[in-house]
Chains A and B, each alone.
Chain A
Amino acid sequence: MQGLNLFGRGQASGARPAPVRHAPARPAPLPQAAPRRDPAPSRLAYRLNRMMLRPLMRRLIHVGLPAFLAALVAGIWLSDDTRRANLTGGIDGIIDRIQNREGFMVRMMTIEGASPAVDKGLRAMLPVDLPASSFDIDLGKLRERVLMLDAVETVELRIKPDGVLSAVVTERVPAVLWRHARGIELLDKTGHRVASATSRDVREDLPIIAGMGADLAVPEALALIDAAGPILPRIRGLERMGERRWDLVLDRDQRIKLPAEGALQALERAIAMDRAQSMLDRDIPVVDLRLSARPVARLGLDAQNAIRRARGQPELGPDGLPIDPAKAKKPHGNSGNHG
């Protein structure tokens, strides 16, 4: 085993002689290395390490602790009144500065499709004085308030570029006049109030309806008036009876009582009868169509008397009672309106 013998011939006969070294040139003895620390974790470190590996503990340390610290710092910092005021003041200032920038300012308001009265009301409804920031104008709320005006059907509000608040208004169109105990009102075709009127002459072109609850049945009333056709010139108006059915009132105190259900058909029937027999030109003050199976025409006094005269019966007086022929000599005769 060569190499084991340090100073044997193998070493001596080697090609390389041993280096010449002087005693002082010997390498310094190696500094005593510090004893190596035990690589094993201590029992305590091991247990702590295992505890930290628990999912709950990990979450507590990684999420809970930073959150708690942040809340603690924020709480301590905010516990001082001055700091809190400074903070809120600063935030408010920033918000103000952004909201009052030139690009967000509303300078004028344009209103389309509104009558002067509505126009004035709309301008009065704007909660702020122009110019104002668009953040201060709550369009949804404003729209709700505008829609509370009776004369306005729809309104389209938008803030256009260059600071224009544009309102496109559709007004309600009055379709009918409604006379009730407290005056006269204009209603649109759905029965919604548009405005009040001082007298019937304000809108002579509109038909008139009357009676309690007439505004709730405006579409039906309009349909009836549309269907009136040939008797339209004679119509004075429609009256709501008992909040359930219509009476068609004609001139010469004539009245067509319509049923609650199927009023339109009943009216068409009456018109047909009129066309066939000129019923409405005769002395018939009331045509009662409330029961479709049994239409009733009430004869006027003159017509009844004409019949009674022809039969040789005593005539009837205005109170509906037969006039005693003995007394009948004294009063003046009939004025002769025989229908």
Chain B
Amino acid sequence: MKDLYQGQRAMRNMRRQAMQRGVIAVLDIGTSKIACLVLQFDGPSQFRETDGVGPMAGQSNFRVIGTAHTRSRGMRFGEIHVMAETERAIRTVIQSAQKVAGVRVDHVIACISGARPASYGLAGEIALSSGKVAEQDVARVLASCEVPDFGRGREVLHAQPVNFAVDGRSGLSDPREHAGGKLACDMHVLTIDGDAAGNLVHCIRRCDMELAGVASASYVSGLAALVEDEQELGAACIDLGSGTTGVSVFIKKHMIFADAARIGGDLITQDIAKGLRVSYSVAERLKTLHGGLEATGRDDREMIELGGETGDWETDRRRVSRADLIGIMRPRVEEILEQVGEILNAAGFDYMPSRQIVLTGGGSQIPGLDALAARMLGQNVRIGRPLRIQGLPHNATAPGFSSAIGLALLTAHPQDEWWDFEMPADQYARGSLLRAYRWFRNNW
């Protein structure tokens, strides 16, 4: 856990440095689309008191000065499949975002949607010697959490303290200065596949950029798509991407669970391509222009020209009804939602006080999805668009950009992570003694 601590701290310092310089890029590497926002941090002084703009959780500090998105390459299921291709895609998107912004960007914060995330809830408890919670005790109780075996090659992406309890008083967000004899904490840890994360880091380094932070795409799209009340009362955000479907569960403004299903909108397109015997691009066009989930009688009469460039006149002039297209799409969407339902069951979503479900991501734009999801997942379903942030162009306000926007929000207002607290003093001492011992052994 120690290396992780150091690595995450280095990344946090890089982020602070970038914020001081004022320009930072946010990179959402998805399976079908890669989006980049260039953020300019002007500091809180750009609005006066009389403008009626408060701190707004850091959202008034920055504005978007450059956006670009392009087709993603070499990605599968939210993971990097062909390194060189992905690197080219990152180069393309960063160059065009820089061109729009007119400034050079050196620091980038990325999010990773796949890489098999796994959520763990950890609990720790310490006795308070001074009868009061000191600054050091918070770090100690976090360090005392019992860490399960994550498995080989797993890396911790998020480790957020969710809840503190002093003696019997639970639900504290800031336990400092509380009087009591025992301090307990709950921590949510999200681990991902280390090699997949390493590939991402490597790709970004190859583009001459400094990585200033990594976040989970399911988490950040929840930040962008859920409104504050939903985060407080409890809600699940379902990010329907093209390669993965991310699920994150929030309560009391903390993420308590995140997962991703390796199934997404890409499969729907593949189904259409296979079922209608059209090319992949034609299938994508059919899905986005004519797709739907609820067939009505009118859809039987609405004929769609398939089009295509096969060169065979008969093949290119075929027509199908919209009901046929819906018939292909619906089972696949149902399958996706079933998997989401399983994930939510595993997370114990049924026991949450408020079972709000928010659908976002590019896949949430399929007409009729809210009705289908309401039937399959629960009654409280809405389609969520990402929060509006300053300077964002209109074409980047679609639900497909919610993870990029959430990443920008997270950059402006970072969540406390375990490594943001000072390391307990005893661990420091052990580390330095170990280093001294090693140095003596190597030199004498």
Contact = CB atoms under 8 A, between A and B. Distances in A.
A3 B207 CA distance: 48
A4 B103 contact: no
B285 to A, nearest CB: 16
B228 interface: no
Given A1-B320, A27-B313, A40-B89, A50 B98 contact: yes
B327 to A, nearest CB: 7
B104 interface: yes
B95 A49 contact: yes
B320 A46 contact: no
A49 to B, nearest CB: 6
A45 B91 CA distance: 10
A2 B320 contact: yes
Contacts of A46: 91, 95, 207-208
Interface string A239-254: 0000000000000000
Contact of B98 (A29, A30, A53): A53
Given A2-B320, A6-B318, A41-B92, A30 B104 contact: no
B276 interface: yes
Interface in A1-31: 1-4, 6, 27, 29-30
Given A6-B318, A39-B70, A47-B208, A1 B91 contact: no
Given A40-B88, A40-B92, A50 B208 contact: yes
A50 B321 contact: no
Given A39-B70, A53-B98, A6 B92 contact: no
A54 interface: yes
A53 B103 contact: yes
Contacts of A53: 98, 102-104
Nearest to B306: A3
B334 interface: no
A38 interface: yes
A3 B324 contact: yes
B74 to A, nearest CB: 11
Contacts of B92: 39-41
Contacts of A38: 88
B104 A29 contact: no
A191 to B, nearest CB: 68
A4 B314 contact: no
A30 B102 CA distance: 41
Contact of A41 (B95, B309, B324): B95
Interface in B79-130: 88-89, 91-92, 95, 98-99, 102-104
B297 interface: no
A76 to B, nearest CB: 35
Interface in A283-328: none
Contacts of B89: 40
Contact of B319 (A3, A50, A54): A3
B136 interface: no
Interface in A60-86: none
B286 to A, nearest CB: 12
B315 interface: yes
Nearest to B315: A6
A19 to B, nearest CB: 9
A50 B315 contact: no
A54 B104 contact: yes
A4 B98 contact: no
Nearest to A39: B92
B277 interface: yes
B349 to A, nearest CB: 37
A43 B303 CA distance: 47
B52 interface: no
A152 to B, nearest CB: 66
B55 interface: no
A49 B311 CA distance: 40
Given A1-B327, A27-B313, A46-B207, A40 B318 contact: no
Contacts of A39: 70, 92
Given A50-B104, A54-B104, A40 B324 contact: no
A26 to B, nearest CB: 8
Contacts of B321: 2-3
B324 A2 contact: yes
A29 B318 contact: no
Q: Rank and list the top 6 A-B pairs by shortest CB-CB distance, nearest first.
A: A40-B88, A53-B104, A3-B320, A40-B92, A46-B91, A1-B324
28 contacts: A1-B324, A1-B327, A2-B321, A2-B324, A3-B306, A3-B319, A3-B321, A4-B320, A4-B324, A6-B314, A29-B311, A30-B309, A30-B311, A40-B73, A40-B89, A46-B95, A46-B207, A46-B208, A47-B208, A49-B95, A49-B99, A50-B95, A50-B98, A53-B98, A53-B102, A53-B103, A53-B104, A54-B104
Interface of A: 1-4, 6, 27, 29-30, 38-41, 43, 46-47, 49-50, 53-54
Given A1-B327, A4-B318, 6 more contacts: A4-B276, A6-B318, A30-B309, A40-B91, A46-B91, A49-B95
